[in-house]
Amino acid sequence: MAQCTQLSRNSQERNKTCSNVRSPVQQRRQGRIRAGRSLPRARSMAAKMQSMNEHVAALLDVTCADDADEENRSLYRTAIDAVKRASDMCHGVQRGLAEEDTKAKQDDSPVTIADYAAQAVIALTLMQNSKGGSENVRLVAEEDANELRDGGRLTEAVANLVRTAMDDGELTNAQVCDAIDVGLYEGGDQGGNFWVLDPIDGTRGFVGRRQYAVCLGYVDAKTGDVLLGVLGCPNLPFRGGDVMRLSDGQEGLDSVLAAEARSEQGVAGSVFFAAKGKGTYVGPLDGSAPFVAIGAKARQSEEDAPPAFMESYDARHSDHSFSGVVASTIFDGKSAPPPLRVDSQCKYGLLAMGGIADIYMRFPPSKYREKIWDHVAGICVVEEAGGVVSDAKGRKLRVNEGRFLPEDLGGGICAGSSQSWHGRLVDAIAVAAAATQK
Ligand SMILES: Nc1ncnc2c1ncn2[C@@H]1O[C@H](COP(=O)(O)O)[C@@H](O)[C@H]1OP(=O)(O)O
Ligand SMILES: [Mg+2]
């Protein structure tokens, strides 16, 4: 386990796969784990499932090497399985999304059949694998089934997606609605540890055929630490754990990536996995290659500006002009890096990978209240890669006080790929806020 944490922090070792790290358990299984083998192009679904299972087994051997980790092994496997199932389903839906598959919520943000179905698929997977019984699954999740209880076209479409994804034709519409409503748990520090889910983070990106992420985390209720984070990013191409090249086009990088992942060649999307004390890993969603340990390749020198800073794609979600001021403040007198605008918690995955952006800023409108499911999984992914996520004043995000983050976030949320970048970012936000009286 120590070996693996070190791996994730050591940039020179970044591209070693989990299969290269030999835990005792892994050595026993070595007969069936081969790193980096090339697979035939046209692979059957069963073959894909099998290789995914092998790569997940290799990841678990590395992250759960001790016998004491047996409980974690089951927790991690369940989380990856749930996110992968939901991500595959969402990927299929996005390709053929029709106008009538989307509705506007009360706050005017969109929700689609895939948001509901992904939440049901993940809730059902957690319940099926719960050691304490399905009734003891604590899940804080974004959607509820209010709009689906009366039946109708939307309900039928959602339930059909769930029946297919769960391979269970017997599931009734009511059971699907009940599964969605498992996510109504209030969170907080009074009960036991709980799951946190955003079934589709960045629904606007999903509808716009851009980036989105299926985000599942697990929180220590008492401390508010995030113990586990899994991000399914179907439109973020997996490139052996290496970073995207800015030559892909700075401005349009997001749509270039999405187009590539949607292409006929079937480039696989990415799944990020992080667990407290175990590091951060990324692998292809289709199981075509092993997971790779990642750690942000932070540039500490002020001479060496990152190629970009990250922020929301949508200007309604974050004040783009203020982040521009902060970026100029950090690189005082030198040219500031341009923004890289990407929907969803894919930004946290990209930050963890390093090499493309070392800072991420989010300044929502003052009336907007941040939800815990928009950050929990990403916090673990960034922190286990050596980065820091906090509010705009540098304070830890308190994710165990209910479904919302505290009202006072000092103006927003920020993240750095290292302690040093995070520190510089928090200082620059304070200077920029004073200068603009924000
Ligand atoms: N007015 C708003 N201000 C800030 N964030 C918002 C707003 N409306 C929706 N969101 C949420 O912002 C997140 C997207 O973040 P980003 O801007 O980084 O892509 C989503 O979780 C989205 O909700 P939803 O999950 O319903 O899509
Ligand atoms: Mg969201």
Per residue in 361-392, pLDDT (tens digit) is 999 999 999 999 999 999 999 999 999 999 99
Print the SS3 string covering 389-425: EEECCCCCCCCCCCCECCCCCCCCEEEECCHHHHHHH
Strands 139-141 and 194-201: parallel
Per residue in 201-229, pLDDT (tens digit) is: 999 999 988 889 999 999 999 999 999 99
**319 alpha carbon – ligand 2 mean position (Å):** 17
pLDDT of residue 146: 96
pLDDT of residue 301: 54
User: Which ligand 1 atom sits nearest the alpha carbon of residue 203?
Assistant: 27
According to the annotation, is 198 in a ligand binding site? Answer: yes
Rounded to whole angstroms, the Cα distance separating 360 from 367 reads: 21
Query: Can you tell me the mean pLDDT for 242-260?
Result: 51
Q: Whose CA is nearest to atom 17 of ligand 1?
A: 312
Ligand that lies nearest to the alpha carbon of residue 368, given by its number in the listed order: 1
Query: Can you tell me the mean pLDDT for 266-272?
Result: 85
**360 alpha carbon – ligand 1 mean position (Å):** 15
User: Which ligand 1 atom sits nearest the alpha carbon of residue 345?
Assistant: 18
pLDDT of residue 230: 98
According to the annotation, is 189 in a ligand binding site? Answer: no
Residue 413: CA atoms inside 13 Å, Cβ hemisphere, count?
30
Strands 413-416 and 388-391: antiparallel
Per residue in 109-158, pLDDT (tens digit) is: 899 999 999 999 999 999 999 988 788 999 999 999 999 999 999 999 99
Query: Can you tell me the mean pLDDT for 288-310?
Result: 73
Per residue in 390-424, pLDDT (tens digit) is: 999 999 999 999 999 999 999 999 999 999 999 99
Lining ligand 1 with CB less than 6 A are 109, 142, 198, 201-204, 312-314, 316-318, 343-344, 364-365, 368, 374
Rounded to whole angstroms, the Cα distance separating 59 from 312 reads: 31
Tokens 């599931």, residue? 171
Ligand that lies nearest to the alpha carbon of residue 215, given by its number in the listed order: 2
pLDDT of residue 23 exceeding 80, the answer is: no
Q: How far is CA 413 from the centre of its chain?
A: 16
Torsion of CA 220, 425, 406, 375, to 10 degrees: -50
pLDDT of residue 55: 96
Domains annotated on the chain, with CATH: 2-294 (3.30.540.10), 309-436 (3.40.190.80)
Q: Assign 92 a pLDDT band (cuts: 50, 70, 90).
A: very high
Strand partners, 233: 270
**202 alpha carbon – ligand 1 mean position (Å):** 6
Q: Assign 304 a pLDDT band (cuts: 50, 70, 90).
A: low
pLDDT of residue 336: 79
Tokens 């209720």, residue? 221
Query: Can you tell me the mean pLDDT for 69-77?
Result: 93
Q: Assign 6 a pLDDT band (cuts: 50, 70, 90).
A: very low
Q: How far is CA 164 from the centre of its chain?
A: 24
Query: Can you tell me the mean pLDDT for 94-116?
Result: 92
Per residue in 253-265, pLDDT (tens digit) is: 555 555 555 554 5
User: Which ligand 1 atom sits nearest the alpha carbon of residue 344?
Assistant: 19
pLDDT of residue 74 exceeding 50, the answer is: yes
Query: Can you tell me the mean pLDDT for 79-87?
Result: 98
pLDDT of residue 338: 84
Mean pLDDT of the chain: 84
Ligand that lies nearest to the alpha carbon of residue 107, given by its number in the listed order: 1
Q: Which of 245-249, 276-280, 380-384, 405-409 has the lowest mean pLDDT?
A: 245-249
Do residues 203 and 109 touch, judged by C-beta distance below 8 A?
yes
Residue 59: both structure tokens together: 């990841």
pLDDT of residue 134: 80
Query: Can you tell me the mean pLDDT for 54-63?
Result: 94
**212 alpha carbon – ligand 2 mean position (Å):** 9
pLDDT of residue 27: 33
pLDDT of residue 16: 42
Distances (CA, A) of 88 to 192, 380, 398: 30, 22, 31
Strands 309-311 and 339-341: parallel
Q: Which residues are within 8 A (CB) of 150 and not within 5 positions of it... i.e. 6 or more apart?
A: none
pLDDT of residue 253: 53
Rounded to whole angstroms, the Cα distance separating 21 from 106 reads: 49
pLDDT of residue 306 exceeding 80, the answer is: no
Catalytic residues: 115, 203
Rounded to whole angstroms, the Cα distance separating 238 from 291 reads: 10
pLDDT of residue 249 exceeding 60, the answer is: no
Mutate to test the pocket of ligand 1, among 206, 317, 320, 370 (most ligand atoms within 8 A of CB): 317
Q: Assign 75 a pLDDT band (cuts: 50, 70, 90).
A: very high
User: How large a percentage of the chain has pLDDT more than 70?
Assistant: 81
